[in-house]
Amino acid sequence: MAYKALKAARGKPGGRDAMRMMQKMGMKVDEVANVSQVIIRTDSKDIVIEAPSVTLVTVQGQAMYQIAGGQVSESAPQPTSPAVREEDVQLVAQQTGKSLEEARKALTEASGDLAKAIIVLNGQTSA
Bridge partner residues of 9 (DSSP): none
Reported as a single tens digit per residue, the pLDDT across 88-110 is 999 999 999 999 999 999 988 88
Q: What is the pLDDT of residues 25-67, one digit of tens each?
A: 888 888 999 999 999 988 889 999 999 999 999 988 899 999 9
3-state secondary structure 27-93: EEEEEECCCCEEEEECCCCEEEEECCEEEEEEECCEEEEEEECCEEEEECCCCCCCCCCHHHHHHHH
pTM confidence score? 0.49
Domains for the chain: give ranges and CATH numbers.
Answer: 2-75 (2.20.70.30), 86-121 (1.10.8)
Convert the pLDDT of each residue in 66-85 to its tens digit.
999 889 999 888 766 667 88
pLDDT of residue 32: 93
Distance CA 124, CA 127 (A): 10
Cβ distance 48 to 78 under 8 Å? no
The per-residue pLDDT for 38 is 94
Do strands 27-32 and 37-41 pair parallel, antiparallel, or not at all (unpaired)?
unpaired
Question: Contact, 40 vs 47, CB < 8 A?
Answer: yes
Contact 69, 52 (CB under 8 A): yes
Q: How many CB atoms lie within 10 A of CB 29?
A: 20
In this prediction, residue 127 carries a pLDDT of: 47
Q: Which run of H or E residues covers position 25?
A: none
pLDDT over threshold 50, residue 126:
no
